[in-house]
Amino acid sequence: MGDKYVSSGVASPSGVLKTVLFGVLASFILPIIYIILVRLIPNIWFNAICALLLGMGLGYFIDLGIKIGKIRNFKIAIAIAVFCGLLAFYFQWVVFDALMYSANGFTFKLSGGDIANL
């Protein structure tokens, strides 16, 4: 019988940093795209598809960071993925609430003072 693959469990600090940077960047960009799409097309099925695509996109970018950073430790990879997922959820919630409850309502025509209030 052939040898079974066993992961080395290696996770260098630079690899972890690269993976976290990919995940954090995706956690800030993808929720903004999600909010814009959901508000422009208010269809419940489209909202569900957008939420699915948000999760898949976040997973893709975290996986890309894991491959580039050469993370071989499963527990560290899961910890980074959970952290970035929670960060994306929080950032989406904060930006959505800030836009919905701003003085001008939900609009993308905010002045400099409105953005400073966010």
Using one digit for the tens of pLDDT, what is the confidence trace for 73-94? 899 999 999 999 999 999 999 8
CA dihedral 68, 71, 77, 80 (to 10 degrees): -60
Residues in the chain predicted with pLDDT less than 50, given as ranges, are none
Residue 1 belongs to a domain: no
d(Cα 66, Cα 2) in Å, to the nearest integer? 27
Residue 2 belongs to a domain: no
Q: Domain range for residue 54?
A: 13-117
Residue 6 belongs to a domain: no
Residue 7 belongs to a domain: no
Helices assigned H by DSSP within the chain? 13-40, 44-69, 74-100, 112-117
* Pair of tokens at residue 56: 């898949």
The CA R_g of the chain, rounded to the nearest whole Å, is 18
Residue 8 belongs to a domain: no
Q: Total structural domains in the chain?
A: 1
* Pair of tokens at residue 107: 């609009």
Predicted TM-score (pTM) of this structure: 0.79
Residue 5 belongs to a domain: no
Residue with tokens 């001008």: 104
